[in-house]
Amino acid sequence: MGEKRRFHLGAFIQATGHHVSAWRHPEAQIDAGLNFLHYWEITRTAERGLLDAVFLADSPGIWGGTPETQKRNGKLAHFEPVTLFSALSSVTKNIGFIATASTTYEDPYNLARKFASLDYLSNGRAGWNVVTTGNENAAANFGLEYHPEHSQRYERAEEFVEVVKGLWDSWEDDAFIRDRESGIYFDPDKLHILNHQGKYFSVKGPLNVGRPPQGYPVIVQAGASEAGRELAARTAEVIFTANQTLSDAQEFYSDIKGRLGKYGRSFEDLKIMPGAFPVIGRTEEEAQEKYEFIQSLIHPDVAWGILKTYYKGVDLSGYSLDDIAPELPSETNSNKSRLKLVQDLASRGSLTLRQLYLALATARGHRTIIGTPESIADQLEEWFNNGAADGFNIMPPILPSGLDDFVDLVVPILQKRGLFRTEYEGSTLRENLGLRRPPNQFAVRVDSPALVLA
């Protein structure tokens, strides 16, 4: 009989917390975005809770909105993730670090170099969250008049990831001989020049960093559009997804897992981890009070700003917040999968505009769970045991207290049920996630003539 399947858990950390008005909460670290000691504290909490990784979303530009909404946004200023994680890796031992970086607005060589460096600095604990960037404001920061089209961004991303993997394979694992007596530093037969020529990139190589300790930093992806699902099935090892219902999560899980075979991949090569926004109270009443208090912190300007994010091109001036939400736009050049999720959310419950913004203010379409530690654990276990998740990306409403609550109150219950580890399985992020270490693609070709002919 095989070993019991167990959760994987990540801490999705977002400055003061995930709630849109988290910075106004008295328990929030108000300057969190630019406070290294804050990130150190919550990373140590995640490691104390034996979580797989901490994860930072990122965008190469501030998110839009009117001056009224922007001046009320506590999340506009924050550290660049790889820089922050390089520092945090030196004061931690086991926790993984998953940083977001854009295939639309970054360069493959520089990205491959900095993530390989992070993997070395952390002794094999780095992960790359591959995004094509939904933030249309980013374009002007890179000399572009328009944000590239969704389909073009994903086509570029496919080539980008392959280039980065090729650069990570520039050196074989044992290429560096460092023989003082002979004076030979590396074996030239184990150095591979990429010489990539493609539609979007021309990259010679090699990378001037050795092959990362994990082979490749763990590849993470979050898109759920058709293009995003296909990219994930081909390249991702972890998916952070947003689902509201068990049936939606099951559909996504079975669809993605079902695509793996055509790329020669198995179910275990990909972990699917939906986002979960837990509001935890020692009683159900306390949890509900916490939820209602944080929702009360939303300023009306912010409420309308949330709605206008999704109702682009729609005039809402004739509506009140208590009117039934009108039909949302059918298309966007920003985040297609998130728009679809919001469309489903609005139509499923015939929500008013007030109910819609309150639902989005917490976790932007991810699942909100309110209850006692036991009921939170029950709801996570239900998805885990019914073909909807391999684990969860925990999104604390407020930081640092929200992560403290989850680690101190929920994790022990999951451990007692045999659903979560009581010690780390390995020293690298791959080992703790149960992911294989990829072979060097060029070394395999050299050693296997049949592959060269193919």
* Residues in binding site: 58, 100, 150, 154, 225
Cβ-based burial of 253 (10 A; exposed 0-12, middle 13-18, buried ≥19)? buried
Cβ of 103: how many Cβ atoms within 10 Å? Answer: 25
Nearest to 19 by CA among 204, 277, 223: 277
Integer CA distances (angstroms), 174 to 171, 215, 362, 447, in order: 8, 12, 48, 14
- For 379-396, letters b (16+ CB in 10 Å) and e give bbbebbeeebbbbbbbbb
**Which residue's structure tokens are 């993530």?**
115
Nearest to 430 by CA among 170, 83, 52: 52
Cβ-based burial of 71 (10 A; exposed 0-12, middle 13-18, buried ≥19)? exposed
Nearest to 75 by CA among 27, 20, 38, 28: 20
What kind and span of H or E run contains 11?
strand 8-12
Nearest to 10 by CA among 350, 411, 378: 411
E strands in 43-142: 53-56, 96-102, 126-131
| Binding-site residue ranges for FMN | 58, 100, 150, 154, 225
* H helical segments located in 386-426: 401-405, 411-416
CA 201 – CA 213 distance, rounded (Å): 26
CA 32 – CA 14 distance, rounded (Å): 9
Spell out the residues 6+ positions from residue 25 whose beta carbon is closer than 8 angstroms to its own: 16, 17, 19, 293, 294, 297, 398
CA 249 – CA 395 distance, rounded (Å): 17
Q: What are phi and psi of 237, to 5 degrees?
A: -115, -20
Spell out the residues 6+ positions from residue 401 whose beta carbon is closer than 8 angstroms to its own: 27, 28
